Amino acid sequence: MEFGNNFPSLINQYRIEEAKKLLLDHPDKTTAEIGSSAGFSSKSAFYMEFKKFTGTNPNAYRRKELKNESTFRKNF
């Protein structure tokens, strides 16, 4: 996906990339905690931006990626 190159968009893109890492590295933390750690001011802002950049919500992303990681480990 390509988004505008304005500064707020770039900042949010960076925050989402950080949140994606945190979601997988810290499965014990809630999505609200992850959003806050990534620099979002509220859970709703985090969910809205995450969906805009990834096409899915943070919980669904975490479930899918952790399942893929688990499947990968079983195969190797």
Q: What is the pLDDT along the chain (76 residues), one digit of tens a residue?
A: 455 579 999 999 999 999 999 999 999 999 999 999 999 999 999 999 999 999 999 999 999 999 987 665 666 5
Nearest Cα to 19, choosing from 41, 37, 44?
37
What is the pTM for the complete model shown?
0.83
Chain center to CA of 37: 11
| Sequence-separated (6 or more) residues with CB below 8 Å from residue 59 | 31
CATH architecture of 7-75: Orthogonal Bundle (1.10)
